[in-house]
């Protein structure tokens, strides 16, 4: 989605859904519905990306340790 107006609407929708997801009164059926709606909106933003790959790379794999140029030369 390259349309800035469309992106803004999707982002606003995501914010609203995430706010509802954080509600203490949330019950499991609504949580499942919210998860589905969030997934659908994420697909609209970047339909070409494999979300499972994105989640794995950003949430579950630690960032590589920072090495200075001197350490990199030593191996």
Q: Is 34 exposed, middle or buried (0-12, 13-18, 19+ CB in 10 A)?
A: middle
Match 């499942």 to its residue by tokens: 32
- Which pLDDT score, from 0 to 100, does residue 29 have? 92
pLDDT at position 58 over 70: no
Q: How many domains does the chain have?
A: 1
The structure's pTM equals 0.53
Q: How confident is the model at residue 33 (pLDDT cuts 50, 70, 90)?
A: very high
Residue 75 belongs to some domain of the structure: no
CA distance 38 to 31: 10
Higher-confidence position of 1 and 38: 38
Res 57: pLDDT: 52
Domain residues for the domain of 10 are 4-61
Listed as own residue / partner, the contacts of 1-7 with beta carbons closer than 8 Å and 24 or more positions apart are 1/44, 1/45, 1/46, 7/45
In a domain, 72, yes or no: no
Instruction: Tell me, yes or no, whether 66 lies in a domain.
Output: no
């Amino acid at each position: 989605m390259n349309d800035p107006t469309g992106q803004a609407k999707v982002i606003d929708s995501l914010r609203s859904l995430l706010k509802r997801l954080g509600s203490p009164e949330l019950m499991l059926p609504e949580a499942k519905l919210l998860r589905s709606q969030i997934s659908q909106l994420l697909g609209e933003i970047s339909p070409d990306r494999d979300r499972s790959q994105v989640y794995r790379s950003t949430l579950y794999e630690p960032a590589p340790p920072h090495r200075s140029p001197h350490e990199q030369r030593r191996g």
